[in-house]
Amino acid sequence: MTTYSDFSTFGQDTLDTIVKTNTAAAKGFETMTKYFVDLAGKSFEDAVAASKKLSAAKTVVEFVQIQTKLAQESVEVALEEGKKVSELTTSIVKDVTAPMSDRFKVGAAVVAKTAKKAA
């Protein structure tokens, strides 16, 4: 195989990799959007349920107890959702960067092969 052929093939494969990377990025954005839309819906439902619980309180003490419990639950949910978002983001970043990482390895091999032929 000639050097020109090696670089030509590498260039075509790189274009294919760019398409794969963009496809993974689009899929990742779609996944994140769906996640946040679902989360917004759940948050709205939780807010309605919380207001119903608070409005059912018969005394100030009961109201404060319900409010305290809801606040604790909200913090726990926020931490849980933050962890899920972090894991989801990490997964998407890996999916998007993996094809290019592989191309860099192949590119280094092509350059090394060409340098060896030239020497």
CA separation for the pair 22, 19 (Å, rounded)? 5
What local confidence, expressed as pLDDT, does residue 3 receive?
Answer: 66
Domain ranges of the chain: 12-118
pLDDT digits (tens, 9 = 90+) for 80-117: 999 999 999 999 999 999 888 888 887 787 778 777 77
| Cα distances (angstroms) measured from residue 56 to each of 15, 24, 36, 70, 114 | 62, 48, 30, 14, 77
Query: Given a cut of 90, is residue 27 above it in pLDDT?
Result: yes
Give 31-81 as a 3 state SS string.
HHHHHHHHHHHHHHHHHHHHHHHHHCCCCHHHHHHHHHHHHHHHHHHHHHH
pLDDT digits (tens, 9 = 90+) for 58-87: 999 999 999 999 999 999 999 999 999 999
